[in-house]
C-alpha cells in the first residue's frame, strides 16, 4: 500500500494527539530538560498550540442558553461545558478578554491567529507517519503547512 496524505478532518486529531503527548512528556520531565534544547522548544511550541486551541474552542462553544444547544444530546453538552469550565480555570485572564464586549472579537481574532501560526510552524517542522488499518498516513513538512494554512478547526 502506498503512502497517503492526511485529510483535513484527520489533521486536527493528529495535531492534538501529538500536542497532548508532548505536553505530558514535558510536564513529566520538566526538571530534566534543558529549555534551550530542540526537544524542549518543540514541547513548548506544542504547549502554546494547545493553549490557543482551547481558547479558540472556548470562544466558539457559546453561551449554554444559545439555541445551538437545544437539540444537542445531554452528554455532549455536559462534556462541552466541562471543557469550558476547565479552560476558564486554566486561562482566566484570556477568558475574561474573550467575554469582554469591547475586546472579545479582537481577543478571539488574536487567539485564532496564534493557533494558525503555531500549527503552521509545528506542521512545517516535522513530518509524522503512522499506520491505521494497515494503511500508511503521512502529514507534515512545508508543503502540508502551506496547504493547510490557516487550519483553525477545533
Residue linked to cell 481574532:
109
Residue linked to cell 496524505:
5
Residue linked to cell 502529514:
139
Rounded mean pLDDT, 68-92: 89
What is the chain's mean pLDDT, rounded?
78
Domain count of the chain?
Answer: 1
Instruction: Give 103-126 pLDDT, tens digit per residue.
Output: 889 999 999 999 999 888 888 887
Do residues 50 and 27 make contact, with C-beta atoms less than 8 angstroms apart?
A: no
Of 94, 24, 17, 102, which Cα lies nearest the Cα of 58? 94
Indicate whether 89 belongs to any domain: yes
**Residue 8 pLDDT more than 80?**
no
Instruction: Give 45-69 pLDDT, tens digit per residue.
Output: 888 888 999 999 999 887 777 788 8
Residues constituting the chain: 154
Q: Which domain holds residue 50?
A: 4-148
Indicate whether 153 belongs to any domain: no
Amino acid at each position: 500500500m502506498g503512502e497517503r496524505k492526511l485529510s483535513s478532518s484527520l489533521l486536527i486529531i493528529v495535531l492534538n494527539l501529538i500536542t497532548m503527548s508532548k505536553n505530558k512528556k514535558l510536564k513529566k520531565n520538566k526538571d530534566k530538560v534543558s529549555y534551550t534544547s530542540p526537544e524542549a522548544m518543540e514541547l513548548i511550541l506544542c504547549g502554546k498550540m494547545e493553549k490557543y486551541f482551547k481558547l479558540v474552542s472556548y470562544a466558539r462553544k457559546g453561551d449554554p442558553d444559545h439555541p445551538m444547544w437545544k437539540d444537542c444530546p445531554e452528554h455532549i453538552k455536559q462534556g462541552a461545558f466541562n471543557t469550558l469550565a476547565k479552560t476558564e480555570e486554566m486561562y482566566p485572564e484570556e477568558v475574561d478578554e474573550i467575554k469582554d464586549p469591547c475586546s472579545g472579537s479582537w481577543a478571539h481574532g488574536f487567539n485564532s491567529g496564534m493557533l494558525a501560526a503555531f500549527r503552521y510552524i509545528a506542521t512545517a517542522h516535522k513530518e509524522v507517519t503512522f499506520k491505521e488499518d494497515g494503511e500508511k498516513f503521512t502529514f507534515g513538512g512545508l508543503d502540508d503547512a502551506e496547504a493547510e494554512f490557516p487550519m483553525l478547526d477545533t
